Amino acid sequence: MAGHAERAGGHWEAGSDALKQAAIHALAAQGVQWTDLRESVFDALADGGRPVSAYDVADRVSAAAGRRIAANSVYRILDLFVAHNLAKRIESRNAYVVNVHPSCSHDCIFLVCERCGHIDHMDDDRLANSMRERAKAGGFTPHRPVLELMGLCSACNAGGQAANKP
């Protein structure tokens, strides 16, 4: 894993040693053991910081281990990472992405490009909290908001490509 740089606001660089250390610390603080397999899954997930499927992670971990790692084992670990704020699930793509700010409890808003598939995120606690409060006011108990916006990224919007919307 490369680099130790922390970005503004406690966001770590995907794939950095600092992010892995933050993840290890977050699990330990919650009484969860960091195992070799969890480390391999985290490394495969964090590599590049791009959303990946559980099967992609299983393939990467299997290749690194030199033996087949079952996708259901990877799913369990990814679910554990989501539950402990080390990863986020992008529901519309059935994919996971490493959480570059595991010490923050806010919800990510994912921006999903319908043309190229690029996924970015932004944080807006005011919006997420407003959604939670409105749900509570209606008698609903929110657990995990799924905030995704579908559209075109800035690269696909450049040069008038927005007119060619799929």
pLDDT tens digits, one per residue of 73-82: 999 999 999 9
What percent of the chain is modeled with pLDDT above 70? Answer: 86
Residue 68 or 159, more confident: 68
Residue 16 or 163, more confident: 16
Q: Are residues 88 and 46 in the same domain?
A: yes
In this predicted structure, what is the pLDDT of residue 57? 96
Residue 119 lies in a domain: yes
Residue 14 or 155, more confident: 155
- Structural domain count, the chain: 2
In tens, the pLDDT along 96-153 reads: 999 887 877 777 889 999 998 888 888 888 888 898 899 999 999 988 778 899 999 9
Q: Are residues 79 and 58 in the same domain?
A: yes
Asked if residue 40 has pLDDT above 90, the reply is: yes
Q: How far, in whole angstroms, is CA 123 from its chain's centroid? A: 13
Of 68, 98, 128, the last residue of a domain is: 98
Q: Is the pTM of this model over 0.85?
A: no
**For residues 11 and 25, what is the distance between their CA atoms, to the nearest angstrom?**
15
- The token duo for 19 is 């992010």
Q: Are residues 92 and 149 in the same domain?
A: no
Q: Are residues 19 and 89 in the same domain?
A: yes
Amino acid at 27: L
**For residues 45 and 160, what is the distance between their CA atoms, to the nearest angstrom?**
34
| Whether 87 contacts 78, CB under 8 Å | yes
Asked if residue 2 has pLDDT above 80, the reply is: no
In this predicted structure, what is the pLDDT of residue 160? 58
**For residues 89 and 114, what is the distance between their CA atoms, to the nearest angstrom?**
17
Its domain, for residue 131, covers 108-164
Residue 103 lies in a domain: no
In this predicted structure, what is the pLDDT of residue 53? 94
E strands present in 67-114: 87-90, 95-98, 108-113
β-bridge partners, 89: 96
In this predicted structure, what is the pLDDT of residue 3? 41
Annotate 20-57 with b (16+ C-beta within 10 A) or e (fewer): bebbbebbeeeebeeeeebebbbbbbbbebebbbbebb
